[in-house]
């Protein structure tokens, strides 16, 4: 009997413990996981009966210390609607409404709405603050309804707006992400709105299951990005200064971790404030760093050089006779200053930015090998998690005229997106391996679990030896040539290359006075934390990228060194030079 009694006590105790655990778990989901949703349910007491409140997941920036800051969230306030059939004395009512919401409603628009006596519900004002909404509601005006509403808000304003994206009405009557991360991760950010009405046990055990299996099948959540808000702000400020100083058509830049592909900042100027879309030019809604292609000029030379080194057709000690100009298929190719250099080693092709030298390397590679390397570098999209990624224009790779390969060797006759360009050049910084550039690092599920997104795919294109040899040449650019050697940082190795490409005239030729400027660099040279790509399109009254972009690049380098406390990798000067900066003519 005693054994049976103990068994019953244990059974009852186990049941009590099980019920207690279920209650605790249920409270967790009510207060923590679904807290916002229950708040929203309460708000529906003030919402119109015909529609629910807008709901959507958030997007976050990630600071260097790992803390997240809101990039896209929801704001809650009130809307005002009228029933023209019960409205009396419109002038007095307009005065009462504008007393608390004066900036949201025009006199003519209100009177036009009030005159529509065949309608019973017209929304006349949106996005009222809680204070304004409560004040108007307390007036208890016949024919006026004050209802709860929620809308998308971007606390950073213009910050990373072309990458974060916008939410608007698409082809249907549902709000959805149209550009940027809002569009790419729309399925994750969407909210079904039915989670408060699930069966208790079904919800309980499905959520427990999600926690046990890392929520692989979960859909709804928030997006955590790799964008660092301070770095993004600094990049945007520098780009705005360049664009305004030189009256460029457009300027852009990317800062990326070359080992992981995580993008810390990506921006172009001009941009827009997603909170004020009524004032936005639709042309700037996309992301030009992902969508548009350009001929980048001499920042292509490091890729040509690394291809030649990797293929074994040259070594750093190889020399050639630079004649200043050459004729290829009846076309003339010249150095930027038209001057010959005589017999020189490979390093000088990069340091002095010699077109004839890059052409010579392309000839040593041969068309088949050149085609193989450049197809590997640019033949596929990067797969970045932003919409409408453009494809490189590589038609000249399919030709047999050597002049096309010579031109491509120094960045003309081949058009690449900025995101493709930094991914390819990042292979030099990353020991010959290309990574997957990306903006989202994790999905923060409604259960509280954070699921990391896998961006681990690597694409080897060069040997580590070839990449290091080119890195040494690019480091010499900063130490010996950039700003006549004054850009060299005694405690930090920095590898860089400028590019000045002539703009196409749309008729198969090039302008002689319009340029596309580019700049790429990474540091510390031999174990890089960051790679930076900058460009400015058609700057006025200036020829060389060394003038337009060098100051911004160096400003970003010094900022990143200080902000991330990057330790020095050397403690001595490597020498200077007073020769002029070399660029593509």
For 584, the 3-state DSSP assignment is coil
Of 259, 222, 220, 338, nearest to 527 (Cα)? Answer: 259
Q: What is the three-state SS of 362-389?
A: HHHHCHHHHHHHHHHHHCCCCCCCCCCC
Per-residue model confidence as pLDDT tens digits over 190-210? 986 544 444 444 444 444 444
For 196, the 3-state DSSP assignment is helix
Going through 83-182 in order, the beta strands assigned E by DSSP cover 122-128, 144-153, 167-169, 175-177
* pLDDT score for 47: 46
- In Å, how far are 96, 123, 155 from 132, measured between CA atoms? 11, 16, 21
Residue ranges for the chain with pLDDT beneath 50: 38-47, 49-50, 194-217, 572-585
Residues 229-272+290-563: name the CATH superfamily: DD-peptidase/beta-lactamase superfamily (3.40.710.10)
Q: For the chain, give every domain's residue range.
A: 35-225, 229-272+290-563
DSSP state of 156: T
Q: How many CB atoms lie within 10 A of CB 380?
A: 13
**CA gap 427, 382 in Å, rounded:** 13
Of 504, 538, 505, 500, nearest to 519 (Cα)? Answer: 500
pTM: 0.86
Per-residue model confidence as pLDDT tens digits over 73-90? 999 999 999 999 998 899
For 195, the 3-state DSSP assignment is helix
For 122, the 3-state DSSP assignment is strand
* pLDDT score for 278: 85
Per-residue model confidence as pLDDT tens digits over 358-372? 999 999 999 999 999
Domain at 35-225: CATH code: 3.90.1310.10
* pLDDT score for 4: 64
* pLDDT score for 17: 78
* pLDDT score for 198: 41
* pLDDT score for 461: 98
**CA gap 563, 65 in Å, rounded:** 11
């Amino acid at each position: 009997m005693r054994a049976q009694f103990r068994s019953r006590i244990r059974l009852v105790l186990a049941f009590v413990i099980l019920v207690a655990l279920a209650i605790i778990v249920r409270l967790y989901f009510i207060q923590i996981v679904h807290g916002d949703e229950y708040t929203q349910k309460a708000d529906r007491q003030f919402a119109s009966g015909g529609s629910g409140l807008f709901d959507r997941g958030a997007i976050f920036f990630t600071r260097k210390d790992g803390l997240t800051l809101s990039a896209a969230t929801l704001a809650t306030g009130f809307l005002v609607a009228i029933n023209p059939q019960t409205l009396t004395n419109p002038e007095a009512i307009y005065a009462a409404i504008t007393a608390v919401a004066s900036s949201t409603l025009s006199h003519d628009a209100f009177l036009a709405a009030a005159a529509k006596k065949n309608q019973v519900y017209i929304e006349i004002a949106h996005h009222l603050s809680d204070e304004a909404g409560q004040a108007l509601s307390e007036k208890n005006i016949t024919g006026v309804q004050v209802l709860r509403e929620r809308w998308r808000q971007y606390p950073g304003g213009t910050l990373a707006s072309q990458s974060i994206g916008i939410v608007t009405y698409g082809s249907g009557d549902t709000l959805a992400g149209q550009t940027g991360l809002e569009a790419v991760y729309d399925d994750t950010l969407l909210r079904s709105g039915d989670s408060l009405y699930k069966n208790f046990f079904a919800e309980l055990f499905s959520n427990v299951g999600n926690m046990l299996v890392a929520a692989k099948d979960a859909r709804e959540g928030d997006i955590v990005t790799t964008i660092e808000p301070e770095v993004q702000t600094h990049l945007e400020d520098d780009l705005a200064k360049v664009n305004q100083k030189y009256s460029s058509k457009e300027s852009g830049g990317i800062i990326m971790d070359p080992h992981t592909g995580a993008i810390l900042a990506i921006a172009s100027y001009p941009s827009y404030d997603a909170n004020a879309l009524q004032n936005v030019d639709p042309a700037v809604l996309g992301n030009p760093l992902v969508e548009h292609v350009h001929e980048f000029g001499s920042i292509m030379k490091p890729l040509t050089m690394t291809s030649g080194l990797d293929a074994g057709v040259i070594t750093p000690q190889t020399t050639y006779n630079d004649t200043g100009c050459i004729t290829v298929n009846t076309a003339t190719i010249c150095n930027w200053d038209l001057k010959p250099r005589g017999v020189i080693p490979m390093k000088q092709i990069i340091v002095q930015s010699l077109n004839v030298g890059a052409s010579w390397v392309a000839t040593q590679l041969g068309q088949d090998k050149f085609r193989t390397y450049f197809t590997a570098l640019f033949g596929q999209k990067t797969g970045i998690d932003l919409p409408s990624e453009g494809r490189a224009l590589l038609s000249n790779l399919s030709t047999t005229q050597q002049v096309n390969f010579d031109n491509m060797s120094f960045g003309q006759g081949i058009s690449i997106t900025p995101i493709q360009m930094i991914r390819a050049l990042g292979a030099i910084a990353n020991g010959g391996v290309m990574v997957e550039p990306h903006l989202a690092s994790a999905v923060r599920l409604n259960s509280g679990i954070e699921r990391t997104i896998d961006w681990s795919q690597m694409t080897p294109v060069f040997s580590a030896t070839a990449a290091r040899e080119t890195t040494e040449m690019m480091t010499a650019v900063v130490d010996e040539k950039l700003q006549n050697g004054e850009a060299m940082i005694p405690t930090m190795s920095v590898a860089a290359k400028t590019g000045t490409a002539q703009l196409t005239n749309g008729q198969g030729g090039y302008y002689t006075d319009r340029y596309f400027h580019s700049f790429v660099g990474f540091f510390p040279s031999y174990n890089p934390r960051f790679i930076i790509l900058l460009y400015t399109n058609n700057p006025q009254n200036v020829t060389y990228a060394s003038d337009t972009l060098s100051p911004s690049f160096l400003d970003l380098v010094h900022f990143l060194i200080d902000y991330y406390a990057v330790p020095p990798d050397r403690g001595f000067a490597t020498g200077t030079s007073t020769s002029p900066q070399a660029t593509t003519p």
